[in-house]
Structure 1
Amino acid sequence: MTTLATPRAGRHAAGTAAALALPAAATLLALMNYTAPMATLTETAHGLGAGPTGRIWLMSSISLGLAAALLATGSLADDHGRRRVFAIGAAALAASSVACAVAPGTGLFVAGRIVQGVASAALLATGLGIIAAAFPPGPRRAHATGVWGAMLGLGIALGPIASAELTSAAGWRAWYWVAAVASAVLGAVAVRTLGESRSERPRGLDLPGLVTMSLGVAALVAAITWGRAGWTRPGVLALLGAAAVLLAAFTAVEARRTEPMLDLGLFRRPAFLLSVSGALVTGLAVIGIMSYLATVMTLVLGLSPVVSALVLAIWSGLSFVAALQARRLPARLPAGRLLGAGLALSAAGEFAMLGLAPDSHWWRLVPGLVVSGVGSGLANAMLARLAVESVPADRASMGSGANNTARYVGASIGVAVVGAIATGSGDGPSALAHGTDVAMLVSAVVALAGAALAAAIRER
Structure 2
Amino acid sequence: MRVAAGTPPVLSPRGRTVVLLTCCLSVVVAGLDTTIANVALPSIRQALHAPVSGLQWVVDAYTLVLACLVILAGSVADRFGRRRVFQAGLGLFSLGSLLCGLAPSLGSLVAFRALQAVGGAMLNPVAMSIIATTFAAPAERARAVGTWGAVAGLGGACGPVLGGLLVSGLGWRSVFWVNVPIGVAAVLLTRRFVPESRAARGKRFDPLGQLLVLTFLGPVTAAVIEGPRHGWSSPLIVTLFVVAAVSVTGLAVTASRRADPLVDLRFFRSPAFSGAAVVAVVALLAVGGFLFLNTLYLQDVRGYSALHAGLLTIPMAATGAAFAMISGRIVAARGARLPLVLAGLLLAAGAALLAGTGRETGVGYLVLAYVVFGAGFGLVGTPMTNAALSGMPRDQAGVAGAIASTCRQTGGAIGVAVCGSIVAAGSAGASRAAWTVLAGCGVATVLLGLVSTGRWARARAERSGRLLNRE
- Partner Cα distance (1:44, 1:340) in 2: 41
1:442 aligned onto 2:437: yes
Does structure 2 retain, via aligned residues, the 8 Å contact 1:286–1:447?
no
- One-letter identity of the residue aligned with 2:247: L
Q: Can you list the C-alpha shifts for 1:41-69, whole angstroms capped at 9, x where unaligned?
A: 21122222221222222232211112111
Does structure 2 retain, via aligned residues, the 8 Å contact 1:274–1:336?
no
Q: Can you list the C-alpha shifts for 1:127-148, whole angstroms capped at 9, x where unaligned?
A: 0100011111322111101011
Change (3 A) 1:305 1:198: same
Q: Offset of 1:343 from its aligned partner?
A: 1.5
Q: Offset of 1:309 from its aligned partner?
A: 0.9
1:411 aligned onto 2:412: yes
Does structure 2 retain, via aligned residues, the 8 Å contact 1:39–1:309?
no
Q: Which moves more between the two structures, 156-165 or 24-33?
A: 156-165
1:139 maps to what in 2?
139
- One-letter identity of the residue aligned with 1:2: G
1:47 maps to what in 2?
47
Q: Offset of 1:439 from its aligned partner?
A: 0.6
Q: Offset of 1:332 from its aligned partner?
A: 5.2
2:468 maps to what in 1?
none
Does structure 2 retain, via aligned residues, the 8 Å contact 1:390–1:399?
no
1:316 maps to what in 2?
317
Q: Can you list the C-alpha shifts for 1:266-303, whole angstroms capped at 9, x where unaligned?
A: 21211101220110111212222224312320110111
Correspondence list, 1:8-23, <5 A: 12-23=12-23
Does structure 1 retain, via aligned residues, the 8 Å contact 2:200–2:395?
yes
Does structure 2 retain, via aligned residues, the 8 Å contact 1:89–1:119?
yes
1:2 maps to what in 2?
6
Change (3 A) 1:258 1:54: same
- Partner Cα distance (1:247, 1:47) in 2: 41
- Partner Cα distance (2:10, 2:327) in 1: 30
Correspondence list, 1:15-414, <5 A: 15-231=15-231, 232-329=233-330, 331=332, 333-414=334-415
- One-letter identity of the residue aligned with 1:440: W
Does structure 1 retain, via aligned residues, the 8 Å contact 2:143–2:332?
no
- Partner Cα distance (2:388, 2:223) in 1: 27
- Partner Cα distance (1:452, 1:330) in 2: 18
* Gap regions ≥5 residues in structure 2: 459-471
- Partner Cα distance (1:93, 1:40) in 2: 19
Q: Offset of 1:359 from its aligned partner?
A: 2.6
- Partner Cα distance (2:169, 2:262) in 1: 46
The 3-state SS of whatever aligns with 2:7 is strand
Change (3 A) 1:330 1:282: closer
Does structure 1 retain, via aligned residues, the 8 Å contact 2:339–2:379?
yes
- Partner Cα distance (1:233, 1:171) in 2: 38
Between the aligned residues of both structures, percent identity stands at 30
The 3-state SS of whatever aligns with 1:199 is coil
Q: Offset of 1:331 from its aligned partner?
A: 4.2
- One-letter identity of the residue aligned with 2:160: P
- Partner Cα distance (1:233, 1:47) in 2: 33
Q: Which moves more between the two structures, 186-195 or 230-239?
A: 230-239
Q: Offset of 1:224 from its aligned partner?
A: 1.9
Does structure 1 retain, via aligned residues, the 8 Å contact 2:61–2:113?
yes
RMSD across aligned positions (CA): 1.9
Does structure 2 retain, via aligned residues, the 8 Å contact 1:32–1:158?
yes
Q: Can you list the C-alpha shifts for 1:200-232, whole angstroms capped at 9, x where unaligned?
A: 111221222122113321221122222232124
Does structure 1 retain, via aligned residues, the 8 Å contact 2:139–2:333?
no
Aligned length: 450
Q: Offset of 1:5 from its aligned partner?
A: 5.5
Q: Offset of 1:233 from its aligned partner?
A: 4.0
The 3-state SS of whatever aligns with 1:256 is coil
4+ long deviations beyond 4 Å: 4-7
TM-score by length of 2: 0.91
User: Which of 443, 447, 451 lines up with 1:456 in the alignment?
Assistant: 451
Does structure 2 retain, via aligned residues, the 8 Å contact 1:128–1:388?
no
- Partner Cα distance (2:304, 2:435) in 1: 19
Change (3 A) 1:288 1:51: same
Q: Can you list the C-alpha shifts for 1:397-419, whole angstroms capped at 9, x where unaligned?
A: 11111111011101101101111
The 3-state SS of whatever aligns with 1:262 is coil
Change (3 A) 1:345 1:213: same
Q: Offset of 1:173 from its aligned partner?
A: 0.4
Q: Offset of 1:34 from its aligned partner?
A: 1.1
- Partner Cα distance (2:64, 2:228) in 1: 14
- One-letter identity of the residue aligned with 1:164: G
Q: Offset of 1:390 from its aligned partner?
A: 4.3
Q: Can you list the C-alpha shifts for 1:344-395, whole angstroms capped at 9, x where unaligned?
A: 2111111111222223333332211111111111101212222322421111
